Amino acid sequence: MKNIINNARIIELLRESDEYLSGAEIASNIGVTRVAIWKRVNSLRKKGYVIEGSPMKGYKLVQLPDLSIEEIKNALSKENLKIGSDLVFYKTLSSTNITATELALKGYSEGTVIIADEQTDGKGRLGRRWISPAGKNLYISVILTPPISPRDATILTILSAVACCIALKKLLPIPISIKWPNDLIVNDKKIGGILTEIKADIDKIFLAIIGIGININLDLEDLPDDIRETATSIKILTGEHFCRTTVVIEILREIQRWYDILLSNGKTDLLLQWQLHTSTIGRRVRVKIGNDVFKGVAETIDSEGLLILRLPDNSFMKVNAGDITMLREWES
């Protein structure tokens, strides 16, 4: 534990300074030898921290790791958040949702977060595969045990979409919005999605897994031909590589904030926030449910998060689940 604390303190000191810090100054502040600082700086470099070193000047932090579990843990522990209080990282796994379910059934507590650098069998809604290459995107699952009815399970997807949308808007100057029920989109192209899976009896959810996938540093050539026209990434939109560590921290902060609001105040605030951040309401849409296809205007969502669709004959239908396509003006 002392090594972890000292490494975190070294990073903190370097981040607070715009100038070089001598090894002697860092060693004195932490209470270890200069040789110990040299060894720990080298270990931090191996973890992806870019730290310049000069015998005459000392050390200077130039760049944080793209995905640093140590940075995430340090940031969340300072805020004493329950979400992310236990964080489990895998270099590669089949699916963070599958692993999260397995860990939850083994006794891992609410708030545990599973992060993978790569998924070999990433899961999307309606049985779709989520493209999950290594070193590019975010693949996160959160274990929750919410005291809510199974009929309100959709609110967990809405919560996660609101949290992710707000977090990304804080970090990026791009027009991210929510497409009902779980897609994060920019200019009608998908940049992320949420997959909520629950285990419940008749009147109680005893386990909910919130899976989140965000396209961060995908290049256009990384996208398969069949989704190149409908998907995008932060890098494609901005032309710049973006730090995944920063995105994880902000998303988990927002999930904690909105989960607390849900538990203390109910669904009203969340439903309002969803309305403020959605690009679905008021649009003409096509809804595919199994083999059936319906077209109409997305009017609103109800108190359970179900989509209210106004059909061409001005009747209304509730949509619990389906594949939603936004229709353009010329599409019938």
Which domain CATH number covers 302? 2.30.30.100
Position 106 in a domain = yes
Position 331 in a domain = no
Are residue 291 and residue 240 in the same domain, yes or no? Answer: no
Exposed (0-12), middle (13-18) or buried (19+): which is 64, by Cβ within 10 Å?
middle
Give the pLDDT of residue 263: 95
Position 332 in a domain = no
DSSP label of 237: H
Amino acid letter, 283: R
Q: With a cut of 70, list the residues of the chain below it in pLDDT.
A: 1-6, 122-130, 329-332
Position 292 in a domain = yes
Are residue 272 and residue 288 in the same domain, yes or no? Answer: no
Of 155, 148, 124, whose CA–CA distance to 306 is shortest?
155
Last residue of a domain, which of 240, 255, 277?
Answer: 277
Position 208 in a domain = yes
Are residue 48 and residue 86 in the same domain, yes or no? Answer: no
Are residue 113 and residue 259 in the same domain, yes or no? Answer: yes
Are residue 39 and residue 74 in the same domain, yes or no? Answer: no
Q: Measured between alpha carbons, how far is 137 from 234 in angstroms, rounded to an integer?
A: 10
Position 158 in a domain = yes
Are residue 81 and residue 129 in the same domain, yes or no? Answer: yes
Alpha helical stretches, state H, 17-90: 23-30, 34-46, 69-78
**In degrees, to the nearest 5, what angle opens at C-alpha 197 toward C-alphas 191 and 199?**
170
Are residue 9 and residue 90 in the same domain, yes or no? Answer: no
Q: What percent of the chain has pLDDT over 90?
A: 58
Residue with tokens 């999950």: 132
Give the pLDDT of residue 332: 53
Give the pLDDT of residue 194: 93
Position 322 in a domain = yes
Mean pLDDT across the chain: 89
Parent domain of 105: 69-277
Are residue 158 and residue 270 in the same domain, yes or no? Answer: yes
Domain count, the chain: 3
Are residue 184 and residue 270 in the same domain, yes or no? Answer: yes
Q: Measured between alpha carbons, how far is 91 from 119 in angstroms, rounded to an integer?
A: 9
Last residue of a domain, which of 63, 81, 100?
Answer: 63
Are residue 82 and residue 215 in the same domain, yes or no? Answer: yes
Position 22 in a domain = yes
Q: Count CA within 13 A, CB hemisphere, residue 305.
A: 25
Are residue 265 and residue 312 in the same domain, yes or no? Answer: no
Q: Measured between alpha carbons, how far is 99 from 199 in angstroms, rounded to an integer?
A: 15
Give the CATH number, domain containing residue 13.
1.10.10.10
Give the pLDDT of residue 323: 81
Predicted TM-score of the model (pTM):
0.84
Q: Measured between alpha carbons, how far is 67 from 135 in angstroms, rounded to an integer?
A: 8
Last residue of a domain, which of 254, 277, 300?
Answer: 277
Are residue 74 and residue 58 in the same domain, yes or no? Answer: no
Give the pLDDT of residue 320: 82
Give the CATH number, domain containing residue 111.
3.30.930.10
Which tokens sit at 104? 């939850």
